[in-house]
Amino acid sequence: MKNLVVFGGSSYPELTAAVCNRLGISSGKSKLAKFSNNETSVEMRESVREQDVYIIQSGCGTVNDNLFELLIMINACKVASAKRITAVLPHFPYSRQPDVPYKASSGAPLASLPPATPRNDKLNTATTASTDDVSRQLMNKLAKVSLENNNSSGGAGNSSQYRQWVARSGTLVADLLTCAGADHIITMEMHDPQFQGFFDCPVDNLVSSPLMINYIRHQIPNYQDAVIVSPDAGGAKRATAIAEKLRMDFALVHKERRQVSTNKRDLMLVGDVRGKDIIIVDDVTDTSYTITRAARMLRENGARKIYALVCHAILSGNAARNIEDSCIDQLIVSNTIPQHEHLRDSPKIKVYDVAPIFSEAIRRTHFGESVSMLFDAQFDTI
């Protein structure tokens, strides 16, 4: 391919080699090292003047070092007069941290239902008075619940207490990439859908559902009789889309908060899984707590064999050992993150390859073609 250069960061050189192999090119020459004081050293040993440059760096391992290394590589190519610079991040760092400050009570249901609208059997009564009365009752109820939540968090009797908040780095990371010189971003399955809107440059957020659908069709026996399950409400849309395309049944594991004061959540199963094979679908698993707990509940409700299909398997700490000891029979993950150590820790873990979809995205972007076909489950050349 003419005027195309693909560099790879130090986070995942195997994926860079696989992408370049499918593109039929050799990876760009660079030297990545550390000074004695742990500052990042980058040397681009290949001309990129008027070239279309792609830099592959996954947000895994030592995330902060890899992110800063990517920024320096982007800036080095910009200073060297590259025509266009595209940052390819199979797993996007900090995408789990939106810019909206999190409040434990913001998404919590009320302790009890708001007052119901009083029945009025008289036809000639004034509806305005009754509406104002209901509104007043509802506002009083909401104020009471808010006061109880503040008291439970340690602010009893002190309305002027400082409101704690958590710094979110979504916009910061987007600004760092664009300020460094990135003209385009290619990534896969951002955990927070609003993250894509933080950028001032085009972002192609690839989806893993075509790869998951192809894996289910070719690797899971009698998949038509299985049930697609979302381990939480956040992934319901993704799981239902896969179930509809494969014409399979769908179920949902819902976390229901029963006690607001203690923040305890009980799992509730929506759907029938008795005597069925189960395919749990999720975008990311870190501590593996969510999917292992959901798998245990599904087993208790009569599920037969349990598969878990995940895009980004971070599996930090002893997560791989937890998977090995859980009710999950097989965990299928992508290689957006290196899985060598995880494969040694648990024989239950299997890997499907994302190099074809990233190489095709790079090829289509380089030639100015549409990448919408990569979102189609029928796209079988990958």
33: tokens are 């090292």
Contacts of 176 (CB under 8 A, 6+ apart): 67, 71
pLDDT at 282: 93
Q: Measured between alpha carbons, how far is 116 from 14 in angstroms, rounded to an integer?
A: 61
**Residue with more model confidence, 155 or 217:** 217
Q: Measured between alpha carbons, how far is 216 from 234 in angstroms, rounded to an integer?
A: 21
> Is residue 104 predicted with pLDDT exceeding 80?
no
> Is residue 255 predicted with pLDDT exceeding 90?
no
Which own/partner pairs from 363-371 qualify as long-range (CB within 8 Å, at least 24 positions apart)?
Answer: 363/1, 363/23, 365/86, 365/184, 365/186, 365/204, 366/1, 366/4, 366/52, 371/204, 371/206
> Is residue 116 predicted with pLDDT exceeding 60?
no
**Residue with more model confidence, 301 or 377:** 301
pLDDT at 232: 86
Q: Measured between alpha carbons, how far is 177 from 75 in angstroms, rounded to an integer?
A: 9
SS3 26: coil
Q: What is the pTM of this model?
A: 0.80
pLDDT at 190: 87
Q: How many CA atoms does the CB half-sphere of 297 hold within 13 Å?
A: 23
SS3 356: helix
Least confident of 63-77, 128-142, 171-185: 128-142
Contacts of 323 (CB under 8 A, 6+ apart): 288, 292, 315, 331, 346, 348, 349
Sign of the torsion angle spanned by Cα atoms 185, 189, 193, 194: negative
pLDDT band at 82 (very low <50, low <70, confident <90, very high): very high
pLDDT at 200: 87
**Residue with more model confidence, 298 or 262:** 298
pLDDT at 110: 44
Amino acid residing at 192: D
pLDDT band at 102 (very low <50, low <70, confident <90, very high): very low
- pLDDT, averaged across the chain: 83
pLDDT band at 120 (very low <50, low <70, confident <90, very high): very low
Stated as kind and residue range, the H or E segment containing 230 is strand 227-230
Cα of 59 vs its chain's centroid, Å: 12
